[in-house]
Amino acid sequence: MRGVVISPTATPFGQGKAYNVNRTWYLPAEYAPIRVNEHIHYEPGEKSPLPVTLGAAFQGVVIVLSNTITIVTTFAVAANTSGSYLSWVVFASLAIGGLVTALQASRIGRLGPGYILMSGPTIAFLAVCVLAVEEGGLSLMATLIVVSSITQFAMAIWLAQLRRIITPVVSGVAFMMIAISAMPIAFARMGEASVGGSPMAGPAVGTATVAAAALLTLRASGLIRLLAMPIAIVLGCVVAVLFGVYDIQRALDAPWFALPEFAAWPGLSTALNGDFWALLIVFLVVSAVLAVRSGNEGAVIQQVSWRRPRAIDFRAVQGTLNVGGIGMLLSGVAGLLPVAMYLPSTIALINFTGVAARRVGYAVGAALIGLALLPKIVAILATIPQSVTGSILMIVMGMLFVEGFRTVFQDGLDQHKALIVGLSLSVGVGLQTRNILEGVLGAPWGAALGSSVVAGVLVAVLLSSVLELAGPRRRRLEGYLDIATLHNIDVFLREIASGMGWNDASTERLCAAGEETLSSMLQLGDDYEKDKARRLIVIARPDAGTVEMEFLAVFEEENIEDRIAFMSDQAETPDVGEMSFRLLRHYASSVRHKKYHGIDIVTVQVEA
Q: Provide the residue ranges of all domains of the chain, joining segments of one domain with +.
A: 19-32+473-607, 50-265+275-468
Q: Cα–Cα distance between 49 and 66 in angstroms, integer?
A: 26
Give the whole-angstrom CA distance, residue 562 versus residue 576: 18
Distance, CA of 140 to CA of 444 (rounded, Å): 14
Quick one: average pLDDT of 317-331? 92
Distance CA 266, CA 274 (A): 20
- Cβ-proximal residues to 111 (8 Å cutoff; 6+ apart), any chain: 103, 319, 322, 323, 326
Whether omega before 444 lies within 30 degrees of 0, making that bond cis, reads yes
- Per cent of the chain over pLDDT 90 is 10
Segment 305-325 shows an average pLDDT of 84
Tell me 108's DSSP state.
B
The reported pLDDT for the residue numbered 485 is: 86
Nearest C-alpha neighbor of 166 from the set 305, 312, 309, 310:
312
User: Per-residue pLDDT tens for 443-458?
Assistant: 666 766 667 777 887 8
- Give this prediction's pTM: 0.65
What is the rounded average pLDDT of the residues 497-503? 86
Coil, strand or helix at 595: strand
Of the candidates 91, 90, 80, which has an alpha carbon nearest to the alpha carbon of residue 137?
80
- Asked whether 123 and 68 are in contact (CB, 8 A), the reply is no
Higher pLDDT, 501 or 444: 501
pLDDT band for position 33 (50/70/90)?
very low
Class of domain 19-32+473-607: alpha beta
| Mean pLDDT comparison of 315-329, 384-398, 508-522, highest-scoring range | 315-329
Average pLDDT in the chain: 76
Closest CA to 420 of 172, 163, 159: 172
Q: Would you state the pLDDT for residue 34?
A: 43
When pLDDT is averaged across residues 434-439 and rounded to a whole number, the result is: 74
Helix boundaries (H) for 335-385? 343-353, 358-371, 375-382
Share of the chain above pLDDT 70, in %: 76
More confident residue, 556 or 15: 556
> What pLDDT does residue 471 have?
66
Query: Which position has the higher pLDDT, 226 or 401?
Result: 401
Q: Please, which residues have CB within 8 angstroms of residue 428's CB and are 6 or more apart in sequence?
A: 173, 177, 180, 181, 452, 453, 455, 456, 459
Q: Give me the mean pLDDT over the 557-581 stretch.
A: 48
Q: From the CB of residue 99, how many other CB atoms can be counted at a distance below 10 Å? A: 20
Strands (E), 19-59: 19-21, 24-26
Which tens digit of pLDDT belongs to each residue from 468-493? 777 667 788 888 888 888 888 888 88
Res. 195: pLDDT tops 70: no
Structure confidence at residue 36 as a pLDDT band (50, 70, 90): low
Span 562-568, mean pLDDT?
48
Question: How many CA atoms lie less than 13 Å away from 491 in the CB half-sphere?
Answer: 7
Per-residue confidence (pLDDT) for residue 106, from 0 to 100: 93
Give Rg (Cα) of the chain.
26
Is the pLDDT reported for residue 7 higher than 50? Answer: no
Amino acid at 237: C
pLDDT tens track for 84-132: 777 788 889 999 999 999 999 998 888 889 999 999 998 777 767 877 8
- pLDDT bracket for residue 8 (50, 70, 90): very low
More confident residue, 360 or 385: 360
Coil, strand or helix: which one is 599? strand
Cα distances from 96 to residues 36, 116, 367, 514, 524, in angstroms, run: 34, 16, 12, 48, 40
**Residue 28 in this model has a pLDDT that exceeds 60:** no
Distance CA 194, CA 196 (A): 6
Residue ranges in 472-599 assigned as alpha helix (H): 486-499, 504-524, 560-568, 579-587
- Report CA-CA distances (Å) from 264 to 123, 135, 146: 22, 19, 18
**Nearest-angstrom CA–CA distance, 392 and 397:** 9
- Please, which pLDDT band fits residue 31 given cuts at 50, 70 and 90? very low
Mean pLDDT value of segment 419-448: 77
Question: With bands split at pLDDT 50, 70 and 90, how would you rate the model's confidence at 586?
Answer: low
Query: What does the pLDDT read at residue 197?
Result: 62
**pLDDT at 194 (0 to 100):** 58
First to last CA, the chain: 20
Alpha-carbon torsion angle 247, 252, 257, 262, nearest 10:
-60
Distance of alpha carbon 203 from alpha carbon 208, whole angstroms: 8
Cβ burial, residue 17 (10 Å; 0-12/13-18/19+)? middle
Q: Which of 239-243, 289-293, 456-460, 539-543 has the lowest mean pLDDT?
A: 289-293
Considering only the C-alpha atoms of the chain, give the largest distance between any 2 of them, rounded to a whole number of Å. Answer: 83
372-414: pLDDT as tens digits: 888 776 677 667 777 887 787 777 777 768 777 877 876 677 7
Residue 30 has pLDDT above 50, yes or no: no
Q: For residue 308, with 0-12 CB atoms within 10 Å meaning exposed, 13-18 middle and 19 or more buried, which class applies?
A: middle
pLDDT score for 577: 46
Residue 150 CA to residue 335 CA, distance in Å, equals 17
Helices (H), 123-265: 126-148, 150-157, 168-190, 201-219, 222-226, 228-242, 249-253
> Do residues 499 and 542 touch, judged by C-beta distance below 8 A?
yes
pLDDT at residue 589, as a whole number: 64
Give the per-residue pLDDT at 10: 34
The average pLDDT across 304-314 equals: 79
Predicted local distance difference test score (pLDDT) of residue 318: 86
